[in-house]
Structure 1
Amino acid sequence: MTDPTPIYRSDLLASGITPDELRQALRSGALTPVAPGAYLRRAEADALDDDARHRVRGRCVQHTLGWDAVLSHVTAALFHGADLWNPDLSRIHITRDRRSGGRRTDNLHVHPAPIAREEIFVVGAAAVTSPARTIVDLARSLPVDEAVIAGDSLLRRYPSALVGIPAALDGAALRAGVASARRVVDFLDGRSESAGESLGRLRLRSAGIPEPSLQRELFTPDGTFVARVDFFWEELGIVGEFDGMGKYGAGDPESTAESVHREKLREDAIRGLGFEVVRWTWAELFRFDVVADRFARAAERARHSLPPTAKTPARCMPRATVYPARG
């Protein structure tokens, strides 16, 4: 993480800059305000995307309030590099280890709650809640789609966070949203590699489709690698693929055409093993009935075909990463 370091008014004045000189720097655009009493050089500020701007604002808030104001919730998730879907970045979220004193303004949300020392990480020169604590806080406070996307991505980055989740849930036992959080964290899986794959798992469950294996490697009967697939139903003889735009590139038509061609050859090879392939796009995640129908037709076709030798477990290998079973 290489966010720029804010320049604080107090430090500028202490260095000998006069208030008039500071006002002139702001008028000329040499400095740009990013938070009360905090600035960036214009080029640095212009280069920030929304996520980076939020992180810089978070550091400014913590600088003002002190390190006992631990950055949390969505703010902590951004420091940890989580994938967030449609996040509300208007407020900086902090948690303070106290029983009361919560407040919410247009720019700040203070959460009063116990926080253990082991639940505090230092990331990018800021004190933030640990990945496990962040996962639970988001699972308590966000809609399910958003909580699963963020939680999956945090587990992907920090697989060991799974060990800390039970304690974080126990610590939140009396706080709002913990029942929902327990359901969310039981569903999380760090093997989902994108927001689209996380949403896909949710939509599959809602459609009553059996739970798939994730990121399975397929081989020919002689052991030649064919593909690693997003979703796999070995018993049904079906492969599921989420068509994110990252698979095809963007901007360069020749590159995109080549990517599409390679993807077609890959799918042909998967079908050559005897598997049905069901694909869906981002837009279809929001009208998933068409995918469920597609899946049902594929399952019917698979039932009427002879089982290929490539469907044996020896030819369908999981990725090396192993996630502990949930109780």
Structure 2
Amino acid sequence: MTSSEPLRRSDALTTGWSDVRIRQALLNGEFERLDRGLYLPSGVASRLDELGRHKVRIRSAARGLTDGAAFSHVSAAVMHGFALWRPDLGRLHITRDGSGGGGRSGGRHVHVGSLPPNEIVDITGIACTSAARTVVDLACTLTVEEAVIAGDSALAADPAVAESIVRLLATTGRRQGIVVARQIVGFLDGRSESAGESLSRLRMKQFSMPSPTLQKTVLDPDGAFVARVDFFWDEFGIVGEFDGMIKYDEGGSDAVRREKRREDTLRDLGYEVVRWTWAELFGFERVRARFERAVARSRR
């Protein structure tokens, strides 16, 4: 065992540790508890975010994974690297082929159902549900917002996942949540490049806004590149931009100036520009009103 490896109680007891020593290591801050019987050196744990800690738990639990079982749902999404919004990482999710014996206990949620071998993939030595199966599982169990964010990121990483999802749904029978899942996966679009853009598309649909073109390249009259914009309504000449502020935080005042020049150029070309922030995704009626005013100006 090295100082960077997790400590499993079962392994520790066979190498001379005792429960008293483990408790002392936890009390003096040498280790942090990640899961039942699983501890990580505090120096390592402090460098990991919640996703990283979940991966450590998965790798530890993988030692006891039975044939025909795979990490699934949010746990598989973590291993695939999907974008996750407000994920509940308290439990490891495992699916095994069968018709009974599932349930929640401790830090595990065991799902049972059909799990064909072609829906299991190996990710760095860990059996996980395939990207398509994971997207469908999430769409069946998460909120619409959470499922769309994860699904969009899956398609952005590999557009071929969309076709795999279609094939999977064609062979999926009755299961809880599948009706809503079919609606969700039909809405997914890998051209959304962030959680904020995915939520923006959902809000546009909820507020009955016309569907925009995503990631539109705007050129000037001479054919020179001007900008690649998040959302574009060609019929109104309106550009929509989700302002996550990350680009400003990373680039400081220079990034702000570049963005202002970019927007000024778009306006000079006759485009209306509508912006919104993360906070406004939860008060989107203001954005809808802003968009309607832009439409009115474009028709003058």
Normalization by structure 2: what TM-score? 0.91
Aligned residue pairs, count: 296
Shift of the 77–286 alpha-carbon distance from structure 1 to 2, 3 Å rule, reads same
Verify the 8 A CA contact 2:96 2:115 in the aligned structure 1: yes
Structure 2 partner of 1:206: 206
Residue 295 (structure 1) aligns with: 291
SS at 2:173 equivalent: coil
Cα distance in 2 for residues equivalent to 1:12 and 1:197: 47
CA distance in 1, matches of 2:112, 2:172: 12
Instruction: Call closer, same or farther: CA 1:119–1:22 in 2, change over 3 Å.
Output: farther
Asked if the contact 1:58/1:75 (under 8 Å) is kept, the reply is yes
Aligned to 1:157: 157
Separation of aligned partners in 2, 1:124 and 1:34: 21
Counterpart among 256, 272, 275 of residue 276 in structure 1: 272
Distance 1:174 1:129 in 2: 19
1:34–1:125 Cα change, 3 Å:
farther
- 1:247–1:259 contact (8 Å) kept in structure 2: yes
Residue type at the aligned position of 1:153:
S
CA–CA distance in 1 between the matches of 2:165 and 2:5?
A: 32
CA distance in 2, matches of 1:20, 1:265: 64
Partner of 1:237: 237
Residue of structure 2 in register with 1:266 after alignment: 262
- Match of 2:78, SS state, is helix
- After superposition, the Cα gap between the structure-2 partners of 1:33 and 1:66, relative to the gap in structure 1 and judged at 3 Å, is farther
Which deviates more, 278-287 or 29-38? 29-38
Tell me, yes or no, if the aligned pair for 2:132 and 2:161 is still in contact at 8 Å: yes
Cα deviations by residue, 1:215-257 (Å, 9 ceiling, x for unpaired): 111111112110000001112111100000212116xxxx532
Q: Which residue of 2 aligns with 1:226?
A: 226
For the pair 1:174 / 2:174, whether they are aligned, the reply is yes
Measured after TM superposition, the shift of residue 277 of structure 1 is 0.7
Distance in 2 of aligned mates of 1:141 and 1:20: 38
Matched residues in 2 for 1:40 and 1:12: separation? Answer: 12
Q: Structure 1: where are the runs of 5+ without partners?
A: 305-327
* Cα 1:264–1:18 shift into 2, 3 Å: closer
Code of the aligned partner of 2:277: T
CA contact (8 A) 2:68 2:117 kept: no
Indicate how the Cα distance of structure 1 residues 222 and 97 shifts in structure 2: closer, same or farther if over 3 A, else same: same
CA RMSD of aligned residues (A): 2.0
Name the aligned partner's letter for residue 87 of structure 2.
Answer: P
Q: Which secondary structure does the structure 2 equivalent of 1:208 belong to? A: coil
Q: How far apart are residue 159 of structure 1 and its match?
A: 1.6
CA distance in 1, matches of 2:20, 2:86: 39
Match of 2:18 in 1: 19
Tell me the residue number matched to 1:95: 95
Output the CA distance in 1 between the equivalents of 2:19 and 2:297: 77
2:5–2:41 CA contact under 8 A, matched in 1 = no
The correspondence of residues 94-173 of structure 1 with structure 2, limited to 5 A, is 94-173=94-173
2:8 paired with 1:8: yes
How far apart, CA to CA, are the structure 2 residues paired with 1:224 and 1:130? 42
- Displacement of 1:12: 4.3
Q: 1: CA distance between counterparts of 2:235 and 2:20?
A: 72
Once the two structures are superposed, residues 272-313 of structure 1 have per-residue CA deviations (whole angstroms, 9 ceiling, x without a partner) of 221111111111111111111111111111122xxxxxxxxx
Q: Is contact 2:214-2:231 (8 Å) kept? A: yes
1:47 maps to 2:47: yes
Which position in structure 2 is the counterpart of 1:317?
none
Rate the CA distance shift 1:131–1:20 in 2: closer, same or farther, 3 A.
closer
Deviation at 1:86, TM superposition (A): 1.2
Deviation track 1:67-126 (CA, whole Å, cap 9, x = no partner) reads 543111111111111111111111111100011111023521111011121211222331
Q: Contact (CA 8 Å) 1:62, 1:69: kept in 2 or not?
A: no
- Percent pairwise identity: 51
**CA–CA distance in structure 2, aligned partners of residues 88 and 13 of structure 1:** 31
The residue type equivalent to 2:70 in the other structure is: V
Q: Which amino acid aligns with 1:43?
A: G
- Give the distance between the partners of 2:101 and 2:232, measured in 1 at CA: 49
Task: Name the TM-score, length of structure 1 as normaliser.
Answer: 0.84
Amino acid at match of 2:227: A
Assess if the C-alpha contact under 8 Å between 2:68 and 2:115 holds in 1: no
Counterparts of 2:7 and 2:106 in 1: how far apart (Å)?
23
State which drifts further: 294-303 or 23-32: 23-32
Stretch deviating more after TM superposition (49-58 or 275-284): 49-58
